[in-house]
Amino acid sequence: MYISQIATYLPNQVVTNEYFQQINGLSHEWIIERTGIEQRRKAQATENTNSMAIQAVKALSPFAINLQNIDLIVGATYTPYDTIHSLAHAVQHYLDLHHIPVLSISTACSSFVNAMEIVQGYFAMGKASQALVVVADNNTAYSNEKDTIGGHLWGDGAAALIVTKNPDNQSTMRVIDIITAGAGNVGKAPEGVYLRPNDGKFQMPHGKDVFMNACQYMTKATIDVLQRNGYQLSDLDYLVPHQANLRITKNVAQRLGLPEEKALSNIQYLGNTGCAGCVIALQENLYRFQKNDLIVVTVFGGGYSYGAMLVEYL
Amino acid sequence: MYISQIATYLPNQVVTNEYFQQINGLSHEWIIERTGIEQRRKAQATENTNSMAIQAVKALSPFAINLQNIDLIVGATYTPYDTIHSLAHAVQHYLDLHHIPVLSISTACSSFVNAMEIVQGYFAMGKASQALVVVADNNTAYSNEKDTIGGHLWGDGAAALIVTKNPDNQSTMRVIDIITAGAGNVGKAPEGVYLRPNDGKFQMPHGKDVFMNACQYMTKATIDVLQRNGYQLSDLDYLVPHQANLRITKNVAQRLGLPEEKALSNIQYLGNTGCAGCVIALQENLYRFQKNDLIVVTVFGGGYSYGAMLVEYL
């Protein structure tokens, strides 16, 4: 299958590390050293995962595709505005599309790759051929800013992608393969990081376990998806990992023997934008990619889940 | 694909209509007349969608299948305990399964049929052949019992199903076809009924719109799934609709020209158990079905979403 377009939405408000110094005493230097984050975006109180998803769809070029031909919408978020009228339904409402499958998933920060695999399934069944994938996380709405363990990590953002079964003159990337897997049975998966919406905000009592497993499983998924398609690590041109922590990204690059500059990152200025982070990074770096570049998007989500998508730039 | 086993979990605590008379003044007669509900089950404070999903999996017969052979877990809930370690991840944790796709979805009360269609997609891709589907809703945790519009509707419950790509000697039903569609653009979809976990409990400001669309779309989906497989309404042996309201079930049966007793119901004693309701009804009525009976499970979810699954009893 093929990706023809990616658009993103980022809220205007910038929150610098100085803000956290004021409210919870964490210094700019301390945050930078441990996470690489210098600033992040924060949605307005009137925004939410549904409205951000719609903003990302609005940012798609109206010239590149007739959105009325979309025959599948898959949304993803773990910071839901509404668990009933989900972000995928909000996008359907915005586009006024009828009688097409519409669903939203949650596998935390790995949800983007899971959503792409669901699209792959609909294409394989012949039930769709032109999908819209929307990913959005409104982390700050569920974050306690005073929490010195995780309050400073989170940013908000959204992305939308057009994914087609067959290539057309808009195709920019060919999806060669997708791997996803849960790791809900590993380490501190049940309580490493959690969001129990009926009982408060994000909690991350076992950040070290999350960190270690993120490094391990994003490395594993990258190697797996390359190997099973006959590629070697040396064939890889760019890695687009989940944007959780710059130290995780550097650790994964090191394990893979990849030069740091090949592991793309936006966490410095966006923070952890959840399942949207890697898609935003992919979109931001389109200008960099050359024809036939091999790119792996790899993800790890609290809970735990991991995955990798191997694409060729066209 | 084939369903080989269904197991369910219902909390012990029974809440009668008399309880609501005490706390919000709604009488037994009033509730019965408008909803058909006489009582419902309520989970303990120590229970949640994750624990109920695990209880349903525990109720699967250990003799019928080796759960260690499961190669896909799809969970569904719109009343999440944890949006990160989702109910599908909790089940993976319980079964201690490695390196298989695990994901959870939310399309409100229609989620069961969406989950089955995702499984169908994984089977079509050749990425799985033996799936575990878990559906659970802990509606009472997100319900305001004093709310005279919807507080009395909700019950809690869970179900687990083994779904296989190929038939085996445990297969009880053949899934002939699945249709799903969003209707997020229809009527009062964005605010007819909603659950915004960061901002309170269930709200249903437009119950009449939800009611009317549930009747219309479950009827439509049932007709569509029969017609596109060459069947007529007269071929239908049983209808298993989403268990939202007895008046909706009777209305759909009437629109379809189906005798009321052919439209199966458990709402009288379970209330609206969310996306688990129709699966519990299917399981409860297995004793009724005869070889080659044609059954349609049809669903409607707030948000809105609808769908239908056509099965043949083996």
Q: What is the pLDDT of residues A131-180, one digit of tens each?
A: 999 999 999 999 999 999 999 999 999 999 999 999 999 999 999 999 99
Non-local (6+) Cβ contacts of B59 within 8 A are B7, B8, B9, B160
Residue of A54, A67, A89, A188 to mutate, testing the B interface (most B Cβ within 10 Å of its Cβ): A89
**CB-based contact, B118 to chain A, within 8 Å:** yes
pLDDT at residue A61 greater than cutoff 90: no
Question: At A37, is the pLDDT very low, low, confident or very high (cuts 50, 70, 90)?
Answer: very high
Domains A2-164 and A173-313 share a fold: yes
What amino acid is encoded at A43 in this protein?
Answer: A
Q: Which CATH class is domain B2-164?
A: alpha beta
Q: What is the pLDDT of residues B121-144, one digit of tens each?
A: 999 999 999 999 999 999 999 999
The Cα–Cα gap between A164 and A145 comes to 40
Q: What is the pLDDT of residues A169-208, one digit of tens each?
A: 999 999 999 999 999 999 999 999 999 999 899 999 999 9
Q: Which residues of B23-52 are buried (b: 16+ CB within 10 A; e: fewer)?
A: eeebebeebeeebbbbbbbbbeeebbbbbb
pLDDT at residue A3 greater than cutoff 90: yes
Retrieve residue B269's tokens: 């004693």
Per-residue pLDDT at A260: 93
> Can you give the residue ranges of every domain in chain B?
2-164, 173-313
Residues of A in contact with B193 (CB under 8 A): 84
Per-residue pLDDT at A65: 77
Q: Which CATH number fits domain B173-313: 3.40.640.10, 3.40.50.2000, 3.40.47.10, 1.10.1370.30?
A: 3.40.47.10
In chain A, beta strands by DSSP E: 2-9, 13-16, 39-42, 72-76, 102-106, 130-138, 156-164, 173-182, 238-241, 294-301, 305-313
pTM over 0.95: yes
The Cα–Cα gap between B183 and B17 comes to 32
Residues of A in contact with B302 (CB under 8 A): 84-85
pLDDT at residue A62 greater than cutoff 80: no
Q: Span B210-215, mean pLDDT?
A: 98
Residue A2: is the preceding peptide bond cis (ω within 30°)?
no
pLDDT at residue A66 greater than cutoff 90: no
pLDDT at residue B199 greater than cutoff 90: no
Per-residue pLDDT at B65: 77
Instruction: Give the burial class of A275: count Cβ atoms within 10 A of its Cβ; 0-12 exposed, 13-18 middle, 19 or more buried.
Output: buried
Residues of B in contact with A191 (CB under 8 A): 85
Q: Span B14-18, mean pLDDT?
A: 97
Residue of B54, B78, B82, B196 to mutate, testing the A interface (most A Cβ within 10 Å of its Cβ): B82
**CB-based contact, B185 to chain A, within 8 Å:** yes
Name the helix (H) or strand (E) containing A212.
Answer: helix A207-227
Q: What is the pLDDT of residues A224-244, one digit of tens each?
A: 999 999 999 999 999 999 999
Per-residue pLDDT at B272: 98
Per-residue pLDDT at B62: 76
Catalytic residue status for A185: no
Q: How high does pLDDT run on average in chain B?
A: 97
Q: What is the pLDDT of residues B219-232, one digit of tens each?
A: 999 999 999 999 99
ipTM score for this prediction: 0.98
Per-residue pLDDT at B66: 86
Closest CA to A267 of A112, A32, A56, A36: A36
What amino acid is encoded at A275 in this protein?
Answer: C
Asked whether A61 and A120 are in contact (CB, 8 A), the reply is no
Q: What is the pLDDT of residues B50-87, one digit of tens each?
A: 999 999 999 998 777 789 999 999 999 999 999 999 99
Question: At A262, is the pLDDT very low, low, confident or very high (cuts 50, 70, 90)?
Answer: very high
Asked whether A267 and A277 are in contact (CB, 8 A), the reply is yes
The Cα–Cα gap between A10 and B201 comes to 29
Q: Which residues of B140-167 are buried (b: 16+ CB within 10 A; e: fewer)?
A: bbbbebebeebbbbbbbbbbbbbbbbee
Q: Span B24-40, mean pLDDT?
A: 97
DSSP for residue A52 = H
Dihedral through CA A162, CA A168, CA A174, CA A180, nearest 10? 40
Catalytic residue status for A169: no
Instruction: Give the burial class of A118: count Cβ atoms within 10 A of its Cβ; 0-12 exposed, 13-18 middle, 19 or more buried.
Output: buried
Per-residue pLDDT at B34: 96
